Amino acid sequence: MPLIPKVGRKRFQTRLSLFSIGAFLWIGVLLHLFPVAWMISASLKPTTEIFEKPFNLIPEKPTTASYELLFTSVSGFLSTGADVFRYPMSVYLINSLIIAGLTVLLQIPITAMAAYAVSKLHAPRAARLLFFFFFGTLMVPGQIAIVPRFLLLSHFPWPTTAVPTVPFTDISLPSYSFIGTYWGIILPAAFSAFNFLLFKGFFDTLPTELIEAARMDGASEMMTLRKVMLPLARPVIAVTVYFAFTGAWNDFLGPWIILMSEQGMWPLSVVIYKLQWFLTSWQPTQGSMDPAAQRLISSGVGYNALMALAVIESIPIFLAFVIFREQLMKGIQISGLKG
């Protein structure tokens, strides 16, 4: 509304410019929706159509065969499916939900508590130091930590390939391998510097008197946080939950490195990578031939299954966006990210 003045809305020139802006935006919307529509249409095609008539915009014989293939487990002797389909898609879907859900459940309280303490409870000097400690990693490229984090997770808490021993003996110190467990992905994501910034920005705007008043009533700090602060923070919580959820859902490199060998634990992002890898990049090396790949080649799976997977993977993200949209806008506005 603001750029084009309210007065003189009926003038032809104003109308034309409004119309052209609208047209531009709608074209953009169409362009944007096109890949999404293509994804859905391809997921409804039978495999033969994908390969023989690749450019049909609307499937000639729409079928849900690829979804059915994804949701039935084809393990066992009679199957011709690939390793990717050893588990029904519900297993992968649940894995994704577990990872994203636990990340949200852990990350939001931990981050909110830390932000609250830094904003309201700590003495100024400690708060300053802690603020940089918590938020500093956001300003640092995280790629440097890929290898050390892998080493750390493989023999927690010793970041090495060989666990140190108790001095002068052969007994190795206790260590735990997070490789091949959900915790290897969830724990590193249990605190988010970005969400910390959002929470801190919000708590800073709240007047200290609120806390004082609650304390006067004899409420403990936990009670104050739960009963006074959090109800006010609902929009911010919505934003942080949204970011935490989409972040965990979209994460690929983490699960890929940690859960590589545990197929039953893969989230959807890894499955989709693996399927497209089978479709497009898989090569036998040195005569070693994955029997599963041989079977996949025979089974006639194609891009329709891949696109069906993409649809399945996108639905929760889309739902989260639709549900949280209004809260998101409010949350962004009242938190530290405002303009």
Partner 1 sequence: MTGRSISYKHLSAWLFTLPGLFVQFFFGWFPILFAFFVGFQQYYLVKPPEFVGTANFREVFSDPLVLTALWNTFYYAFLAIGLTFIIPIFVSILLMEMAARTIRIMMLLWFIPVASTAGIAIWKYMYNPTLGLMNGIPTLFGMERWGIKWLDDPSLAMISLVLPGLILFGPGLIYIAALQNVPEELYEAADLEGASFFRKIRLVTLPRLRPIIAMMLLFSIIGSMQVFELPFIMTGGGPGYATTTVVMYVYNLAFGAYNLGKATALAIVLFFIIMTLIIIQRRFFKENLDD
Partner 2 sequence: MRRVVLLICSLCILLSCTQCARRDDAFTRRSEEKTLTPLDYTQLRDREQVKYKDVILRIPASWGGVLLPVDPGAYPTILDKVVHSGDLGTIMGLYNQALFELQHPRVRVEYIHFDMWSDTFRSTLAVALSARRAPAYYIARDLPQTIEQGLYADLTDLMKKWDQFHLQPEGSIREGTVNGRIYTLAGNEMGATIIRYRKDWFREAGIFNEFGEPGPRSVWTWDDFRRIAAKLTDPKRGRYGFAGEMGDFLYNAPHGLDLYVPDPTGQRTWKFNDADPELRRSLQAVREMANKERSANTSVSMGWFEWHNEFDAGRAGMIVSFAPHIPREFLENPHKFGKDKPYGETVGMATLPLGPAGLSGLRPITNPIGFDPTMSPEQLEAAFEWCKSYFYGDMFVNRMRTEAQIARVLNRRSTVYAEVLALPYKPKENLLEEPLEKVFPKDYLETYRRIRESHAPPLPREFGLKEPPTNEYNRAIRAMYSEAITSNADLEAIISKTASIINTTLLNFRGKDDREQMRRYIAARTAFYQKHYPRYYEQVWRDKVQKFYQVP
Region of 17-25, 70-78, 81-89, 200-208 interacting with partner 1 (CB under 8 A): 17-25
Residues 66-85 that bind partner 2 (CB under 8 A): 73, 75-78, 80, 83
In this complex, which beta carbon is closest to partner 1, that of residue 74 or of residue 197?
Answer: 197
DSSP states along 117-142:
IIIIIS-HHHHHHHHHHHHGGGGS-G
Nearest distance from residue 49's CB to partner 1, in Å? 11
Interaction of residue 208 with partner 2, rule CB under 8 A: no
- Token pair belonging to 301: 């799976």
Identified binder of partner 2 from the candidate list 59, 255, 302, 331, rule CB under 8 A:
302
In this complex, which beta carbon is closest to partner 1, that of residue 77 or of residue 261?
Answer: 261
Interaction of residue 216 with partner 1, rule CB under 8 A: no
Query: Amino acid letter at 244?
Result: A
Nearest distance from residue 184's CB to partner 2, in Å? 11
From the list partner 1, partner 2, none, partner contacted by residue 298 (C-beta under 5 to 8 A by kind): partner 2
Region of 16-24, 59-67, 77-85, 87-95 interacting with partner 1 (CB under 8 A): 16-24
Residues 241-260 that bind partner 2 (CB under 8 A): 257, 260
DSSP state, residue 2: -
- Token pair belonging to 60: 């000639």
Region of 63-71, 73-81, 82-90, 142-150 interacting with partner 1 (CB under 8 A): 142-150
Per DSSP, the three-state class of 180 is coil
Query: Amino acid letter at 70?
Result: L
Nearest distance from residue 85's CB to partner 2, in Å? 12
The rounded distance, in Å, linking the Cα atoms of 71 and 65 is 10
From the list partner 2, partner 1, none, partner contacted by residue 285 (C-beta under 5 to 8 A by kind): partner 2
Is 161 buried (19+), middle (13-18) or exposed (0-12) by CB count in 10 A? exposed
From the list partner 1, partner 2, none, partner contacted by residue 193 (C-beta under 5 to 8 A by kind): partner 1
The rounded distance, in Å, linking the Cα atoms of 179 and 241 is 26
The count of other CB atoms within 10 Å of the CB of residue 134 is 20
Identified binder of partner 1 from the candidate list 65, 257, 292, 293, rule CB under 8 A:
257
Interaction of residue 283 with partner 1, rule CB under 8 A: no
Interaction of residue 147 with partner 1, rule CB under 8 A: yes
The rounded distance, in Å, linking the Cα atoms of 159 and 147 is 10
The Cα-based distances of 310 to 67, 170, 314 in angstroms read: 11, 50, 6
DSSP states along 226-241:
IIIIHHHTHHHHHHHH
Identified binder of partner 2 from the candidate list 51, 133, 318, 321, rule CB under 8 A:
51
Nearest distance from residue 61's CB to partner 2, in Å? 17
Q: Which residues contact 196 (CB under 8 A, 6 or more apart)?
A: 111, 114, 115, 134, 135
Half-sphere exposure of 296 (CA within 13 A, CB side): 22
Interaction of residue 306 with partner 1, rule CB under 8 A: yes
Residues 148-187 that bind partner 2 (CB under 8 A): 150, 154-155, 161-162, 166, 169, 171, 177, 179-180
In this complex, which beta carbon is closest to partner 2, that of residue 87 or of residue 249?
Answer: 87
- For the four alpha carbons of 20, 25, 31 and 34, in that order, the dihedral sign comes to negative
